[in-house]
Each structure stands twice: as C-alpha cells, then as structure tokens.
Amino acid sequence: MLAGLLVLWALAYALVPMIAKSQIQKIASEKLGRQVTVGSIDFKPWSLELAINDLAIAKSDPATAQISIKRIYIDAELESLLRLAPVVDAIAVDAPVVALTHLGGGRYDIDDVLAKLKPAPDAPPTEPMQFALYNLVLSGGRVDFTDQAVGKTHSVSALDVSVPFLSNLESKREVKTAPRLAFKLGGSSFDSAAEGTPFAQTRKTDAVVKLTNFDLAPYLAYLPASLPYKLTGAVLNLDAKVAFEQSPTAAVKVSGVVAISNVAVQTSQGGPLLAFEQLRVTMADVQPLAQSVKLAQIELTAPVLNVSRDKAGQLNLLPAKNQNAIKSGAAGAQEEGATALKDLKNAPVAKPAPWRVDVASVAVRGGRVAWLDETLAAPARVDLGAVTLDASKIAYPFAASAPLAFNGSMALNTTATKASAVPGSINFSGTATDSAASVSATVADWPLAMAAKYVGQFLLPALGGQLNAQLGINWRAATPLEPQQLNITGTQAALIDVLLAEGKTSLVAIKRVQVDGIDIDVPGQSFKAAKLQVLQPKAVVGRDADQ
C-alpha cells in the first residue's frame, strides 16, 4: 500500500504541473480573450502545496503584459476534498504588477475582458461559493495607471496587503498573519497595522481604517463610461474597524461610520438628478462573508431629487436604453408573454442564500423633490420641500410579523398667490412589508391648481381651490389564492373654495364640497361615500376670476 501511494505521489508530482500549465493557459486565454502564459508550476502532492511561477496576462497587443505575477503560492488542505470547497492554510502573491490605461471618456483597455466576463442576462442565480482562506499575503505589488487623455501616469508601488483569513466555512486553521495595508503613492507612504494583542492568544485582532475629508473629485473622471449616471462631486470620511475573530467560528466584522458629503449626480445627458449634503451610515456589525448587514442608523441630510419627463415621455431616472427596452418589450408583450411565462415555470430555479439586512433607524431631513413634465402642451412643475422621513425596524428579508414603521411630511414650495395663499402639506405614517402596507395621511390646504395642467387636457375650465383630507391606504400583494388589493378610505375629504374658470372669467364657484365615509376599491374600480355635501354653489358667469 505504501508503494502504491509513493507511485501515485510520483505520478502526480510529474504530471500535475505539466497538465495544469497547459490547461491554465488554454482555458484562461479562452475566457479572457487574451493570451495567458505560465512560466512553470511546482506541485507537492504529499502536502498539497502549489506554486505558479511567472504568470502573465497580455494586453490586446500580446507583446506587453496587462498583469504579471512573479509567484503565486497556495498551501491547500485535504479538508478541501472532504468539504468540496477550498480550504487553504496560506496564499502568497509575490510581485504582482498591473498596467491599466484610461483611453478617455471612461473607456479602458480592459473593457473587452470585462465584457467577456460579464454573465449572460438570462443566467440563473447561483449559490455563493463556500471557502476558507487563511494567511493571505500580497507583497511587492505595483499598479501603473496611465491616463492617455491627459498624458499622465499614476503609480502605486511597494504595495503590501496582509489578511488573517477570509472564510464562510466553519474551519479553524492557524493564523500567522496580522492585517496590514501599506503602499507608496505620489511620493507619499501609507502604512497601517493591527491593534490589540496577538491573534494566537485572543483569537481576535482588529485593523482600523480612517479617511478624513477625502475629495473624490479628481478621480471621478475615471469612472466607466458605461455607468448610467455621472457622479460629479463627493467627499468621503471613513472611520471603520475591521475585526478578525475566530471564536467560536471564523468571522470578519466591520463596524464604524462612513459618511459621504457634497454629492452631486447627473443623468447621462448631463442634467441634475440627485444631490445631498451628507449621507452618514453607522455600521453596527457588517459581516460580508456571512451575508449579514446590521446598521445602527442611516442619516440623509438635505437631499434634492430632480425628476423629469421629456417630450418623448422618457424619465430621467432611467437610462434611455433601458426605457427603449421597456417600450419594445411592452409592444410585444402579448405575443411573447405567454412563451416567457411558460419558460419561466419550466426552468429550474436556483435560489441563492439571501443577504440579511437590519437597519435600526433611517432619518431624512430637509429634502426636496422637483417634478417637471414636458409631455404637456404647457410643462407642468411641482416642487416639494421640507421633506422629512423617519423609519425604523427595517429588515430584509421582510417579515410579516415585524413590518417596518415610518412617518414623515412634505409641503409645496409655491409662491403665495390669491389662488394658493398657503402652501399645501401632507403628513403620513404607516407600516409596510414587501407584501402589505398600511398608510394614514393628512392632506392640508393642497391647491387644486397643481393639477390644472393635467386636468386641462380633459376639462376645459381651469380648476382652483384647496383639498383637505384624512385618508387611509391599505395594500396587499396578490397571492396564489387572492388577487391584489388596494383600498383607499377616508373619514372626510373636503374641497374648499372650488372655482371653475375659463381664462379670467369665472364659471362656477362652490364654497365647500365635503365627502364623508369614503371607500375606494381600486382593483374593483368602485367608489362609495356615506355622505356628500355641496355648500353655497353658484354660477358666476362673467365675473373676473381674480376678484
């Protein structure tokens, strides 16, 4: 038996390097669309140690290298065969060199590689990979970034990275590495080190990452051109702790505060879309390898959202290509819908393990939403200000037994006129999950003139007055046994100082229209009211509407 094992080791020692080198070069070259070469491979079957020497991935011009690595050392464990997942005691990457070129306009010399690696749109979701990687070390790294648009090259050299472990498997291996990040950039050196006592004694070590007022503006021009939106400004502050723990199981935990301020986002056409003073996220316990996120608070200050619909009916929230796809899909929906549904039912569905997200509280202060609709003959504008929102008990996946709770308010930003001396306001509160929602809202002094340009398409006289209402909205998603439900109720809704006018000529004036006991079934398209009152109606034909 020992002789047989020795023969097997000898064959593996002789054949594995040759076969592995051939297959790596062949498969990697096909997958990347670039020439991949390997200098040599060393393999020790008795200890499962593998070393790949002089690995290189060529640019589109095979004469130059996009990536070159002097040596990759992997110390695998037999446990990998038992778990059918990689369990590795150590990984060392020596002298990696990366050359990246920005061609201008957010285009890069690796765009063709990224396109080949991009999964197919119809690819089914897969389960996340299981792994246990320990003692990861990258040393002597270098990144050369060439910007052809401005004729400059930026280099990061002496790059050293050490990570104790990355694992989502219950596998305890000996940790010999402390977390560290060090590099040189533009003549400046950066070095971080672990805090606390040695890992071997406490089974825990922490790394601290801090950034103060880091302006992202100089680097935003390098964002890929394929992005649907354009970030034009942002300042980052980060004070985070990365904890590596192995008691009782391996875990990587991130906590601390990340804040991004002075943010401005434009549409692909260059129009304003979103801006805010600051987004501050307090992380309580974020475990990316365990797919778990616990946030103590999210605070958004002074957000401004500009939503518009152009003359062609396209919303600026969606890229034009997405909207065109939606339109073309809608045009052939009746023909293709049945086939697609049949294929969906027959296709095997792989459900990946869901991320678990818990957010204790969300607060939005000083928000503003501007709406512009250019599909009308005269563009319609609505400007909402003083937007506030508070939400708590937010969890994903949603749980019917623990819905999130929210409340907020908003008011119209209007110039005081005789038609609307006091801006309208809405206060709301409620609970919601992904399958049901219940909202209570109070509408106060909402000017009917806000809808005049929409109503004017169907109702020739102009509409004026104010709306006051107390409404309840209840929604429940469709189930296999019941259709979707959407019900609007109200104890009272009142239209005050209703005026129908044509130009400056008043036609009808009503002091108050009051509806009590409102019950509207939207899917069933039914309207019920317990009581309707019309107070002081009168025709005032010929009277100036401004009087």
Top-confidence residue, 263 or 423: 263
Least confidently predicted of 244-258, 310-324, 425-439: 310-324
pLDDT tens, position by position, 195-252: 544 555 567 788 888 889 999 988 888 888 778 899 999 999 999 999 888 877 788 9
Mean confidence (pLDDT) of the chain: 83
The β-bridge partners of 431 are: 405, 438
Q: Are 255 and 244 in contact (CB under 8 A)?
A: no
Q: Are 300 and 276 in contact (CB under 8 A)?
A: yes
pLDDT for 401 equals 77
Q: Using the 8-state DSSP alphabet, how is residue 315 labeled?
A: B
Cα–Cα distance between 479 and 202 in angstroms, integer? 51
Cα–Cα separations (whole angstroms), residue 344 to 120, 123, 336, 434, 440: 16, 12, 12, 22, 38
Cα–Cα distance between 89 and 73 in angstroms, integer? 11
pLDDT tens, position by position, 469-478: 899 999 998 8
Burial tier of 250 (Cβ tally within 10 Å: 0-12, 13-18, 19+): buried
pLDDT for 3 equals 66
**Residue 37 — pLDDT band, cuts 50, 70, 90?**
very high
Please name the residue that has the structure tokens 């999210």: 298
- Helical spans, DSSP H, in 301-332: 320-331
CB count within 10 Å of CB 448 equals 21
The answer, yes or no, to whether residue 332 has pLDDT greater than 50, is no
pLDDT tens, position by position, 266-277: 988 888 999 999
pLDDT for 419 equals 44
Q: Are 186 and 154 in contact (CB under 8 A)?
A: yes
Helix (H, G, I), strand (E, B) or coil at 454: helix
pLDDT for 99 equals 95
Least confidently predicted of 45-59, 85-99, 122-136: 122-136
Length of the chain: 547
- Out of 166-170, 173-177, 307-311, the most confident range is 307-311
Amino acid in the structure at residue 124: P
pLDDT tens, position by position, 385-401: 999 999 999 998 888 77
* Start-to-end C-alpha separation, the chain: 109
pLDDT tens, position by position, 292-314: 999 999 999 999 999 999 888 88
Pairing mode of beta strands 132-147, 180-185: unpaired
pLDDT for 335 equals 47
Share of the chain above pLDDT 70, in %: 82
**Residue 344 — pLDDT band, cuts 50, 70, 90?**
very low
**Residue 467 — pLDDT band, cuts 50, 70, 90?**
confident
pLDDT tens, position by position, 471-497: 999 999 888 888 888 899 988 888 888
Share of the chain above pLDDT 90, in %: 39
pLDDT for 355 equals 87
Cα–Cα distance between 538 and 19 in angstroms, integer? 94
- Out of 55-59, 315-319, 370-374, the most confident range is 55-59
Q: What is the pTM of this model?
A: 0.79
**Residue 506 — pLDDT band, cuts 50, 70, 90?**
low
The β-bridge partners of 258 are: 238, 281
- Give long-range contacts, CB 8 A cutoff, 24+ apart: 176-184: 176/90, 176/135, 177/134, 177/135, 177/136, 177/137, 178/205, 179/205, 179/206, 179/207, 179/242, 179/244, 180/207, 181/207, 181/209, 182/158, 183/141, 183/156, 183/157, 183/158, 183/159, 184/156, 184/157, 184/158
Least confidently predicted of 69-78, 89-98, 213-222, 289-298: 213-222
What is the average per-residue pLDDT within 282-292?
A: 93
The β-bridge partners of 161 are: 138, 181
Q: What share of the chain is helix, strand, coil (3-state, %, to 5)?
A: 15, 55, 25
pLDDT for 343 equals 47
Establish whether the linkage from the previous residue to 354 is cis, with ω within 30° of 0: no
Alpha-carbon radius of gyration of the chain: 31
**Residue 330 — pLDDT band, cuts 50, 70, 90?**
very low
User: What are the backbone angles phi and psi of residue 123, rounded to the nearest 5°?
Assistant: -70, 130
pLDDT for 409 equals 95
Sign of CA pseudo-dihedral 20, 26, 30, 36: positive
Please name the residue that has the structure tokens 């609307």: 420
pLDDT tens, position by position, 442-461: 999 888 877 777 766 555 55
Tell me the two tokens of residue 306: 């500009």
Cα–Cα distance between 201 and 66 in angstroms, integer? 42
Cα–Cα distance between 365 and 388 in angstroms, integer? 5
The answer, yes or no, to whether residue 178 has pLDDT greater than 70, is yes
